[in-house]
């Protein structure tokens, strides 16, 4: 397994966990961390033995944003060319479901990283925010696009224009997180969710993730057409036959692809 300087990685059964590990900077996303994170995530994504990935940070911070000190002296051209953070495209196109397990601060790029995941499970201590406005800039890892889609224009505008943080309870009420759990149970709950997903048919999981992605990107009519095709295509897999016959025979399915 590759050794990283800013991450810890482990695999248990079909669940991989990536832990952001720059405690001295509250897991601020510097160029090394971003490069290592994308590398680790894509390696797990390419491994058919991995059915779901948990992404987490420390108790105090999931991630406190892009690394401000590293960015401070960048120019327009530096940032336009990818700056210290090139290459999110592959991460955003991963097929394996990603579960963000968020404790403490998820700010700026940290909040945006959580929003790149499919599911966000938050500890009751979690704090979300897009404070870039306080630095004289705006969100740069997708926050101005994903936050309004998640919580609506008006709440997103208030957060992005004022830099206000939102606690876990408000985040759940607003639709930013899937579920809030006590901090002490965060990793166990995220692992349980990941194990559940990893026990399903992999082609069905990939297709469902694709369809959910389409819902974010396509107009409704196009998304519905996409879903109709994907649903029909599921009937070309032996896992569809197994899943439906297992139900009729009152037994647990034995999916071939998982």
Sequential DSSP letters for 205-227: HHHHHHHHHHHHHS-HHHHHHHH
C-alpha distances in Å from residue 126, one per residue of 28, 149, 254, 258: 16, 20, 38, 32
Kindly indicate which of the ranges 108-116, 152-160, 193-201, 240-248 contains the residues binding ligand CAA, using the contact rule CB under 6 A: 108-116
Sequential DSSP letters for 114-175: HHHSSEEEEETT-EEE-GGGGGTS---SSHHHHHHHHH-HHHHHHHHHH---EEHHHHHHHT
Using CB under 6 A as the binding criterion, the count of chain residues that bind ligand CAA stands at 21
User: Is residue 88 a contact point for ligand CAA (CB under 6 A)?
Assistant: no
User: Is residue 69 a contact point for ligand CAA (CB under 6 A)?
Assistant: yes
What is the C-alpha separation between 157 and 172, in angstroms, rounded? 17
Q: Which of 114, 18, 128, 109 is nearest to 70 (CA)?
A: 109
User: Is residue 109 a contact point for ligand CAA (CB under 6 A)?
Assistant: yes
User: Is residue 67 a contact point for ligand CAA (CB under 6 A)?
Assistant: yes
Residue 66 is among the residues annotated as catalytic for this protein = yes
According to CB under 6 A, which residues from 17 to 56 bind ligand CAA?
25-26, 28
User: Is residue 108 a contact point for ligand CAA (CB under 6 A)?
Assistant: yes
Selecting among 28, 61, 106, 112, the annotated active-site residue is 112
Residue number with CB closer to ligand CAA (51 or 140): 140
What is the C-alpha separation between 68 and 38, in angstroms, rounded? 20
User: Is residue 147 a contact point for ligand CAA (CB under 6 A)?
Assistant: no
Kindly indicate which of the ranges 47-55, 135-143, 184-192, 226-234 contains the residues binding ligand CAA, using the contact rule CB under 6 A: 135-143
Q: Which residues bind ligand CAA (CB under 6 A)?
A: 25-26, 28, 64-69, 105, 107-109, 112, 131-132, 135, 139-141, 143
**Which residues are annotated as catalytic?**
66, 109, 112, 132
């Amino acid at each position: 397994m590759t050794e990283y300087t800013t991450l810890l990685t482990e695999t248990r059964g079909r669940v991989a966990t990536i832990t952001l590990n720059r405690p001295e900077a509250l897991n601020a996303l510097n160029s090394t961390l971003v490069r290592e994170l994308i590398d680790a995530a894509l390696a797990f994504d390419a491994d058919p033995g991995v059915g779901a990935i948990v992404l987490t940070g420390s108790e105090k911070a999931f991630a406190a944003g892009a690394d401000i000190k590293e960015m401070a002296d960048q120019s327009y051209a530096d940032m336009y060319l990818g700056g210290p953070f090139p290459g999110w495209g592959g991460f955003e196109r991963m097929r394996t479901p990603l579960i963000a397990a968020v404790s403490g601060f998820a700010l700026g790029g940290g909040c945006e990283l959580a929003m790149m995941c499919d599911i966000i499970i938050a500890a009751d201590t979690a704090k979300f925010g897009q404070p870039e406005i306080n630095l004289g800039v705006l969100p740069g890892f997708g926050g101005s696009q994903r936050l309004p889609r998640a919580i609506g224009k008006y709440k997103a505008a208030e957060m992005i224009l004022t830099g206000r943080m939102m606690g876990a309870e408000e985040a759940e009420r607003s639709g930013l997180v899937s579920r809030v759990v006590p901090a002490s149970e965060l990793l166990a709950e995220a692992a349980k969710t990941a194990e559940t997903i990893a026990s399903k048919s992999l082609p069905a999981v990939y297709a469902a993730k694709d369809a959910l992605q389409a819902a974010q990107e396509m107009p409704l009519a196009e998304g519905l057409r996409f879903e109709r095709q994907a649903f029909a295509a599921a009937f070309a897999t032996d896992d569809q036959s197994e899943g439906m016959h297992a139900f009729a025979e009152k037994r647990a399915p034995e999916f071939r692809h998982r």
